[in-house]
C-alpha cells in the first residue's frame, strides 16, 4: 500500500507522521544531549575529561565517584551552606513575589486607579531627599521617616488642589514591567550601596528583598491577563451572598487562578534559583548561593568541569522534580486558557 502525506484534511498520512516523528526525535536528541554530557562528565576523572571526548560509560571510560566524593564529602559544609542558602532564598522570595504579585494583579484587574502624575513626582522627590539624608550621615530610619513626612505634608496641602495628567491601570502595569527593561548591571551598584548602608550585605534578607523587587514586575505581568479571564460575575454573585472582598479573593479568585499561580511561581522560582549577578554583589561567604559556587570552580588551573558538572546536577534536579510535580497544574492552566480564549 502506498504511503501518503495526508489521508484527510485534518489527519496527516503515514509518511507525514513518519517524517514528523523523525524530526522530533532528532530535535529531542539535540536538546537532551547537553544533559547527557553533563551527567557523564560528573562521573569522569580529570584525565578522562582532558584527554579527549568520551561518550559511553564502561566502554570509553570507567565511571568514578571522585567528583561526587570531593563535592559532597570533602567539601560537605562548603557545599551544604550555599545549597541551603539557594533553597531558602529561592523559595522565600518566590512565595513573597507570588503573594504580592497576586494582590497587585487583582487590584489592577478589578479596580480603576487614577493617580496624579504630580503625586508620583513628589514621592520621587521625597525618596531623593531620604537618600540625600543617608548620604550626609543620617540613620536610614530617620531619613526614610523624613522623606515620607515630606510626601505626607505635600499630599495634605498642595497635592489635593493640583490638577494635571493622571496615570491609569495600563500606565501602572507598563511602569512595573519597565523596571525589567534596564539591564541589571546598570542598577546593581546603587543596590549594593543601599544594602551596605542598611548593614544587610552578605545576608539572606538582602537577597530575598532584591529578588522580590526584581521578579515582582514579571509576576504581575504574567498574572494580569490570567486574572482578567476570570468572570467578574462570579465575584458579583459572591458579593450578593454576603462575601467581602478578601473572602472573594481567597475563596473564589485564587482557587480559579491556581494554574496561573503555579506556572508563575515555577517561572520566578527558576529565575531566583539561577540568579547570579545580584548574588555576586550582595553576598560573599555566609549568603553564597549555588551559582556562585559553580562559577568558583573556574580555578587558576582552568575550569574544573568534573566538579562543576556535579554542582550543576545538584542544582537542576530539584527544579526538574518541581516541574514534574506541578506539571498537571501547568497543563490545566494552558487548557483553561485555550478554552476561554
Q: For residue 48, give the C-alpha cell.
A: 578522562
pLDDT of residue 331: 63
- Is there a contact between 111 and 125 (Cβ–Cβ < 8 Å)? no
Distance CA 16, CA 242 (A): 58
On whether the CB atoms of residues 207 and 89 are closer than 8 A, the answer is yes
User: What count of other Cβ atoms lies within 10 Å of the Cβ of residue 205?
Assistant: 14
pTM over 0.85: no
The residues, ordered by sequence, that sit 6+ positions from 319 with a Cβ below 8 Å of its Cβ are 269, 270, 273
- Which superfamily does 75-109+199-340 belong to? MetI-like (1.10.3720.10)
Q: How far apart are the first and last CA of the chain?
A: 42
Helices (H), 42-75: 46-50, 66-69
- The domain spans of the chain are 75-109+199-340
**pLDDT tens, N- to C-terminus, the chain (341 residues):** 455 555 555 676 777 788 888 999 999 999 999 999 999 999 998 888 888 788 888 888 888 999 999 999 988 888 999 999 999 999 999 999 999 999 999 888 888 878 777 777 777 777 777 777 777 777 877 877 887 887 777 766 766 666 667 777 787 888 788 877 878 888 888 899 889 888 899 999 999 999 999 999 999 988 887 888 888 888 888 888 888 888 888 888 888 888 888 889 999 999 999 999 999 999 988 899 999 999 888 876 778 888 999 999 999 999 989 888 887 776 665 555 444 44
What's residue 337's pLDDT?
A: 45
For residue 119, what are the CA distances in angstroms to 39, 64, 107, 170, 174?
Answer: 56, 64, 19, 17, 18
- Beta pairing class for 298-299 and 166-167: unpaired
**What is the DSSP annotation of 177-202?**
HHTTTS-GGGTHHHHHHHHHHTT-TT
8's grid cell:
484527510
Tell me how long the chain is: 341
Specify the pLDDT at position 8: 59
Amino acid at each position: 500500500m502506498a504511503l501518503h502525506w495526508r489521508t484527510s484534511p485534518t489527519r496527516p498520512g503515514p509518511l507525514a507522521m513518519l517524517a514528523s516523528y523523525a524530526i522530533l526525535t532528532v530535535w529531542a536528541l539535540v536538546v537532551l544531549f547537553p544533559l547527557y554530557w553533563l551527567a557523564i562528565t560528573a562521573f569522569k576523572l580529570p584525565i578522562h575529561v582532558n584527554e579527549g571526548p568520551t561518550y559511553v560509560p564502561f566502554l570509553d571510560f570507567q565511571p568514578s565517584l571522585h567528583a561526587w566524593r570531593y563535592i559532597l564529602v570533602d567539601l560537605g559544609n562548603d557545599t551544604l551552606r550555599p545549597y541551603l542558602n539557594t533553597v531558602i532564598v529561592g523559595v522565600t522570595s518566590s512565595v513573597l513575589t507570588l503573594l504580592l504579585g497576586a494582590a497587585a494583579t487583582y487590584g489592577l484587574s478589578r479596580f480603576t486607579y487614577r493617580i496624579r502624575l504630580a503625586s508620583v513626582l513628589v514621592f520621587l522627590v521625597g525618596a531623593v531627599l531620604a537618600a540625600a539624608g543617608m548620604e550626609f550621615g543620617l540613620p536610614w530610619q530617620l531619613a526614610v521617616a523624613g522623606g515620607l513626612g515630606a510626601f505626607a505634608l505635600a499630599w495634605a496641602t498642595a497635592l489635593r488642589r493640583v490638577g494635571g495628567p493622571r496615570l491609569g491601570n495600563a500606565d501602572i502595569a507598563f511602569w512595573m514591567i519597565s523596571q525589567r527593561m534596564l539591564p541589571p548591571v546598570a542598577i546593581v551598584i546603587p543596590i549594593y550601596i543601599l544594602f551596605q548602608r542598611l548593614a544587610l550585605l552578605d545576608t539572606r534578607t538582602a537577597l530575598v528583598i532584591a529578588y522580590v523587587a526584581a521578579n515582582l514586575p514579571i509576576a504581575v505581568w504574567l498574572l494580569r491577563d490570567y486574572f482578567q479571564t476570570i468572570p467578574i460575575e462570579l465575584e458579583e454573585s459572591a458579593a450578593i451572598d454576603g462575601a467581602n472582598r478578601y473572602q472573594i479573593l481567597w475563596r473564589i479568585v485564587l482557587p480559579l487562578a491556581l494554574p496561573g499561580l503555579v506556572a508563575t511561581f515555577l517561572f520566578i522560582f527558576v529565575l531566583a534559583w539561577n540568579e547570579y549577578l545580584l548574588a555576586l554583589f550582595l553576598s560573599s561567604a555566609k549568603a553564597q548561593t549555588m551559582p556562585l559556587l559553580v562559577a568558583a570552580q573556574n580555578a587558576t588551573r582552568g575550569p574544573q568541569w568534573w566538579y562543576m558538572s556535579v554542582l550543576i546536577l545538584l542544582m537542576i534536579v530539584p527544579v526538574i522534580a518541581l516541574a514534574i510535580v506541578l506539571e498537571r497544574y501547568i497543563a490545566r492552566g494552558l487548557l483553561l486558557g485555550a478554552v476561554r480564549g
